[in-house]
Structure 1
């Protein structure tokens, strides 16, 4: 069985967009006996690699940054003939398209025959009527209009596109796909799995463990991810802990000073994914205070590292974490988050979370994908 993965972004090191997909691919490439043969057909790729079947049009800029080149739409258009040629000559049993994109998808369908199985997702996102707050709260302005147009466009694509299976990250993500018009019988919810580097993180040892507990936040420093909420919760917490904050963005120095929490916070900036396991392993608690997520990687990474989780009690976020090592807080306020942090630290959930190391692995997701591919081929 030969699978072609068609993706806008592939930068060779599991960073940036489509991180879960990168984990599958890198895991499969490292296996002595991968579950199926595959090639990655990427529209933008900066890291030359013999396993890949594509190169980028570098005249439009490098794709080595997290969000690829700034002219990615133009680069996608210039690469479409190459994508069409590679799919037409590749003799694939399954073509798996990561995004339901108006430029890419017609190219894919025109290059393959009717016998080729087609899978879409799970990187199908954007605004829908069930997603509110944070980055989706732009009614009446230009951003809101763009969100509405994108939503209608995705609805149109689901009506005219031909595919066998649509993948989702969570049950909440399934609801989003249903809003777009995807047939419920075609949707499959993926098993959460990430690279084994997270479950192997005990190899780092405990030489840097501190006397006081540590709490980890991983994500950009935005309102949507809950950065400000976390800062205010630190000030209200009754526990003595140090907070490590990993992510891009500008720290809120004035707010931190006004809250009087300068000495108990360390901003780490952006941490490469290969270095994240150390921070998960050394943390006594991981915090995910986001407003809305289709299925955050960070919670799975924390669990695979044996680190307990405190997270917002909302769909898409509260589906992964086992109840015995998780504390979901609601309402989404600094007081509620502070109480959840205090409870989790006092209950010594870190010891109980160790049993989840070795679970939530990308190899399990690959096994599920193999079953999905085989069934639609049959």
Structure 2
């Protein structure tokens, strides 16, 4: 008797490039046993070859549909035909940009259609848009089950969209604690940028409005303008690239901190760059559960984060870091100044941040929860589930 072939999961995303959501897909595929599930990644736009190479499994295909802007009914046939050819057991869409593809998945008779809410749309930080709520309600009948990454997103689905709580499972991101590890601060910045006496603050994220690196630069400049010691020894590293780069550069010039800020650009060596920091700052206007924040904590970094989305589910104030209001340079500057002048606090929070990740946000626990949802939904749909190996 031939061995059962593992069920196939089709992960449908808007694009497959550097980003927190996409990193989560990579981690999930890499850590999930091949005997349990097979995978294919379908991007409505394109799959970046360099980023796709982060998936270590050789049996994963990457399909770029290259659909033009304005996805809608006219594109359903393209995906319908693809899904009829692939015959996945599960379609797993993520965020609003890919949600509508549950309709052609339903038409193609895919048994299980899971939708993940990872964070707010960049044009709707906080989920206040009536239009987006209505769109989610429109597509809800075609979704078998939802996965929300934070309590806030779970509540949004049940209260604002009207999804039954029985159809929503909260699964927090997990972090690869073997890849992101604490280390004595590495010299990763350009020569002469920071000496051993400096305290290096840093952030990682795409340079776009919702990530709000501009507020971080303004906070840094505001602080340094009134703190002579910090002006001598504080440094800021901003990792990432994107459409707001010019605004970030302008903010650096306006704050007169050009020699004290390093714009590192988009990088592949984020674990090493995090090891070059002393404090991590997340200035976002909106978040789901931030992969980057978890990676920083796994790297043993104290955290200053805005009190938005799922950040309060990760950061324990006075233990692993602190939370500040979004879009508030004064509050962020005050928090940066406090941790700069308190090396003992930094040392204690480094230890606490790493311990929290190890105890609460392991990659293995995240994968187990995803597989449990996949298994349960397949059984309900009358489909076979591969035995745990």
Quickly name the TM-score band, shorter chain normalised. 0.7 to 0.9
1:243 and 2:230 matched:
no
Equivalent residue pairs, number = 340
CA displacement at 1:339 relative to structure 2 = 1.6
CA displacement at 1:305 relative to structure 2 = 1.6
Equivalent in the alignment of 2:267: 271
Aligned residues of 2:93 and 2:114 also touching (Cα < 8 A): yes
| Mapped partners of 2:309, 2:21: distance in 1 | 22
Q: Aligned runs of 1:1-378 on 2, under 5 Å?
A: 2-9=7-14, 11=16, 18-28=22-32, 33-34=33-34, 36-43=36-43, 44-45=46-47, 47=49, 51-53=59-61, 55-56=63-64, 73=71, 77=76, 79-88=78-87, 90=88, 92=89, 94-99=90-95, 101=98, 103-112=100-109, 116-123=111-118, 125-126=120-121, 131=126, 148-158=130-140, 160-163=141-144, 165-178=145-158, 179-196=160-177, 198-200=179-181, 202=183, 206=186, 210-237=196-223, 238=227, 239=230, 240-248=233-241, 249-272=245-268, 275-323=269-317, 324-330=319-325, 332-345=327-340, 346=342, 347-348=345-346, 349-356=349-356, 358=358, 360-376=361-377, 377=379
CA displacement at 1:330 relative to structure 2 = 3.6
| Mapped partners of 1:54, 1:246: distance in 2 | 27
Please state whether the residue corresponding to 1:18 is helix, strand or coil: helix
| Mapped partners of 2:314, 2:25: distance in 1 | 18
CA displacement at 1:77 relative to structure 2 = 4.6
Deviates more, 1:247-256 or 1:170-179: 247-256
Q: Deviations over 1:202-237 (max 9, x none)?
A: 4x9745573211000222344432322212221233
Aligned residues of 1:5 and 1:98 also touching (Cα < 8 A): no
CA displacement at 1:171 relative to structure 2 = 0.5
TM-aligned CA distance change 1:263 to 1:320, over 3 Å: same
| Mapped partners of 1:27, 1:14: distance in 2 | 19
| Mapped partners of 1:199, 1:16: distance in 2 | 15
TM-aligned CA distance change 1:337 to 1:129, over 3 Å: closer
CA displacement at 1:320 relative to structure 2 = 1.1
| Mapped partners of 1:182, 1:357: distance in 2 | 30
CA displacement at 1:122 relative to structure 2 = 3.1
Aligned residues of 1:194 and 1:362 also touching (Cα < 8 A): yes
Q: TM-score, normalised by structure 1?
A: 0.76
CA displacement at 1:150 relative to structure 2 = 3.6
CA displacement at 1:262 relative to structure 2 = 2.0
| Mapped partners of 1:102, 1:180: distance in 2 | 14
Structure 2: gaps spanning 5 or more residues: 1-5, 189-194, 381-389
CA displacement at 1:111 relative to structure 2 = 2.4
CA displacement at 1:266 relative to structure 2 = 1.0
Aligned residues of 1:307 and 1:350 also touching (Cα < 8 A): yes
Aligned residues of 1:286 and 1:302 also touching (Cα < 8 A): yes
Equivalent in the alignment of 2:191: none
| Mapped partners of 2:92, 2:249: distance in 1 | 44
Equivalent in the alignment of 2:192: none
Aligned residues of 1:213 and 1:242 also touching (Cα < 8 A): yes
| Mapped partners of 2:120, 2:253: distance in 1 | 36
Aligned residues of 1:97 and 1:121 also touching (Cα < 8 A): yes
Please state whether the residue corresponding to 1:322 is helix, strand or coil: coil
Structure 1: gaps spanning 5 or more residues: 61-68, 137-146
| Mapped partners of 2:300, 2:12: distance in 1 | 31
Q: TM-score, normalised by structure 2?
A: 0.74
| Mapped partners of 2:123, 2:63: distance in 1 | 34
Deviates more, 1:295-304 or 1:116-125: 116-125
